Amino acid sequence: MSILAKYAARARQVNSLVCVGLDSHLDWLPTIFRQHPTPQFAFNRQIIDATHPYVSAYKPNIAFYEARGAQGWHELKLTLDYLRAAYPDIVTIGDAKRADIGSTNDAYIRALFDDLGFDAVTLHPYLGREALQPFLNRADKACIILCRTSNPGAGEFQDLLVAGKPLWQVVAERVAQTWNEHKNCMLVVGATYPQEMAQIRQAVGDDMTFLVPGIGAQGGDVAQVIPAGINTRGLGLIINSARGILLADQPAPAAQTLRDSINHYRGGTL
Amino acid sequence: MSILAKYAARARQVNSLVCVGLDSHLDWLPTIFRQHPTPQFAFNRQIIDATHPYVSAYKPNIAFYEARGAQGWHELKLTLDYLRAAYPDIVTIGDAKRADIGSTNDAYIRALFDDLGFDAVTLHPYLGREALQPFLNRADKACIILCRTSNPGAGEFQDLLVAGKPLWQVVAERVAQTWNEHKNCMLVVGATYPQEMAQIRQAVGDDMTFLVPGIGAQGGDVAQVIPAGINTRGLGLIINSARGILLADQPAPAAQTLRDSINHYRGGTL
């Protein structure tokens, strides 16, 4: 089963397009976890056990684990091992934002797909398809290419016009039309740019899934994002929330509320 | 002392623009190292001890350490700790090719600059200056922005014309003119594109240093690269070689030969 099919099956099973961003910054953790020998893993396990009934994907941002060196990397692996064992139907996304020349990407693939075992990773487009081919060749995994990022200054390069089209649209069309030979590509489209999201949906059609960061703390709004990005089957979006769920007094109701809010604005049925 | 000044001082001291890429892929290591409890560190230490008289910078590509998970990360840290203690005058470059939104970059900064202690890191430009500001604010470190990468398919996006200029030139000019407030920016310009390198030198002037991958195994040629990229002070380049030195029967003479070959083609004096 492809990762896209795995996501669609899970989304139908729990009626949810929610992804929880496991951005478990040590400084954010409650004191009780900071005293634990594996604080990030202990925190993640509690979040996962509480929220999984409402969740179709988990997305650790690797930066927050690297910030703790070898110990953080170890706890990231514990988290992935736990997810795979306890909730194998849930998609795991490594928010790594990698991309190097081809032979170096082989090493990142070993780290992210084979050692940690992520189902999908996020990738920078700047080096082009040829460099990313080792990732793209993994039909058993998914490649999520940065297209329109959620940060306020995303437009500095992404808005530059190339033959009348913004660069983000060129990236979206390239990925959809020529990189997606194995039907394993997705795009990162920030929740903070619903207008561009609607244009990208129009440009790439129904069969491209968007990973959507930027809901909540960054200012993205479900009411605008869902109509802009949803496809005609009521799918095509992976809506990420990190701080809004991790730092909630009660993470499970926070995840459920986000799921229900998305479903409220969602056309189509699962 | 800025990292650029540190590099210039070291380059003058050993009359060398050579950077050794510590891309110490476990599969490439001689058997004797693979049996060592810390194989990548043991190999790196031997390479460093042999080559340092001819070297101004060392550049581990982080992918080859992440491929071994927490153990690889640990050995990367041992390598950096050793370099700092034994050869503090030599510049250390983390070839990490990172870039995320600003708050996440803070975590990467903690990992790369503060925990591992790299002098400089490589960064993707796609998210723009605003996202990279936490890196750019570190006047005590250097930020090396991908401009023209060395891979054969680099042109897919980098050659796109924006108001008549290729994207790589737009990136070069932006970095030189508006990102470089703290005089801590450099550019990645691949050895495999000497013509573009000459155009970038013309566009950004003498005060921008290029990190140049792609000599040797990837096909870049010192005879073309040095005239294309050197500045009027005989500086402005950090010439990286990885496999050509790591896999040489005798790494020290290989590093010396590269240094001398660069100096043969170099105008100006140090």
B151 vs chain A: nearest CA distance in angstroms?
6
Report yes or no: B145 and B186 within 8 Å, Cβ to Cβ. yes
What is the model's pLDDT at position B127? 98
Please report residues of B whose CB lies closer than 8 A to that of A162.
160-162, 167
Question: Quick one: which of A263, A189, A268, A207 has its CA closest to A5?
Answer: A207
A120 vs chain B: nearest CA distance in angstroms?
16
Q: What is the pLDDT of residues A163-219, one digit of tens each?
A: 999 999 999 999 999 999 999 999 999 999 999 999 999 999 999 999 999 998 889
ipTM score? 0.97
Report, as an integer, the average pLDDT of A142-161. Answer: 98
Residue contact B127–A160, C-beta within 8 A: no
Q: What is the pLDDT of residues B174-204, one digit of tens each?
A: 999 999 999 999 999 999 999 999 999 999 9
Best residue in A26, A116, A124, A247 for a mutation probing chain B (most B CBs within 10 Å): A124
Q: What is the largest CA-CA distance in chain B?
A: 56
What is the model's pLDDT at position B131? 98
Q: Please give the model's pTM, rounded to 2 decimal places.
A: 0.98
As a whole-number percent, the residues of chain A with pLDDT over 90 amount to 97
How far is residue A238 from each of residues A16, A208, A254, measured CA to CA in Å? 9, 11, 16
Residue contact A97–B100, C-beta within 8 A: yes
Q: Does A162 have pLDDT greater than 90?
A: yes
Closest residue, chain A, to B61 (C-alpha):
A104
Residue with tokens 């780290």: A111
What is the model's pLDDT at position A18? 98
Angle at A134 between CA A129 and CA A136, to 5 degrees: 60
Number of H helices, E strands in chain A: 13, 10
Of B69, B129, B155, the CB nearest to A153: B129
How far is residue A3 from each of residues A25, A136, A176, B243, measured CA to CA in Å? 27, 13, 16, 35
What is the model's pLDDT at position B269? 55
Of A110, A130, A153, the CB nearest to B67: A110
Burial of A265 (0-12, 13-18, 19+ CB in 10 A): middle
- The Cα–Cα gap between A265 and A7 comes to 20
What is the model's pLDDT at position A61? 98
- The Cα–Cα gap between A172 and A33 comes to 41
What is the model's pLDDT at position A218? 87
Interface of B with A in 121-160 (CB under 8 A): 124-131, 146, 149-158, 160
Report yes or no: B175 and B145 within 8 Å, Cβ to Cβ. yes
Residue contact A151–B127, C-beta within 8 A: yes
User: Parallel, antiparallel, or unpaired: how do β-strands B165-166 and B185-189 relate?
Assistant: unpaired
Residue with tokens 């929330």: A241
Token reading at B136: 């750019």
Residue contact A162–B158, C-beta within 8 A: no
Q: Does B68 have pLDDT greater than 70?
A: yes
Please confirm, yes or no, whether A77 is among the known catalytic residues. Answer: no
> What is the torsion angle, in degrees rounded to the nearest 10, for the CA atoms of residue A88, residue A94, residue A99 and residue A105?
-40
Please report residues of A whose CB lies closer than 8 A to that of B152.
130
Of A73, A108, A125, the CB nearest to B69: A73
Interface of A with B in 226-265 (CB under 8 A): none
- The Cα–Cα gap between A112 and A269 comes to 33
Q: Does B270 have pLDDT greater than 60?
A: no
Report, as an integer, the average pLDDT of A219-243. Answer: 96
Of B68, B111, B126, the CB nearest to A125: B126
Strand blocks (E) in chain A: 18-20, 57-58, 91-98, 120-123, 142-148, 161-162, 165-166, 185-189, 209-212, 237-241
Interface of A with B in 161-220 (CB under 8 A): 161-163, 167, 170-171, 174, 213, 218
Residue contact A101–B150, C-beta within 8 A: yes
Report yes or no: A125 and A171 within 8 Å, Cβ to Cβ. yes
Question: Quick one: which of B138, B118, B145, B236 has its CA closest to B181?
Answer: B138
Reported as a pLDDT band with limits 50, 70 and 90, residue B209 is very high
Interface of B with A in 3-62 (CB under 8 A): 23, 25, 61
What is the model's pLDDT at position A268? 54
Q: What is the pLDDT of residues A42-78, one digit of tens each?
A: 999 999 999 999 999 999 999 999 999 999 999 999 9
- The Cα–Cα gap between B168 and B147 comes to 5
Of residues A97, A141, A165, A183, which has the active-site annotation?
A: A97
What is the model's pLDDT at position A245? 97
Q: What is the pLDDT of residues B110-119, one digit of tens each?
A: 999 999 999 9
Map residue A62 onto helix, strand or coil.
coil
Closest residue, chain A, to B156 (C-alpha):
A128
Report yes or no: B50 and A57 within 8 Å, Cβ to Cβ. no
Q: Does B108 have pLDDT greater than 90?
A: yes
Of B69, B111, B151, the CB nearest to A131: B151
What is the model's pLDDT at position B163? 95
Report, as an integer, the average pLDDT of B214-233. Answer: 94
Question: Quick one: which of A233, A241, A232 has its CA closest to A261?
Answer: A241
Residue contact A174–B158, C-beta within 8 A: no
- The Cα–Cα gap between A220 and A218 comes to 6
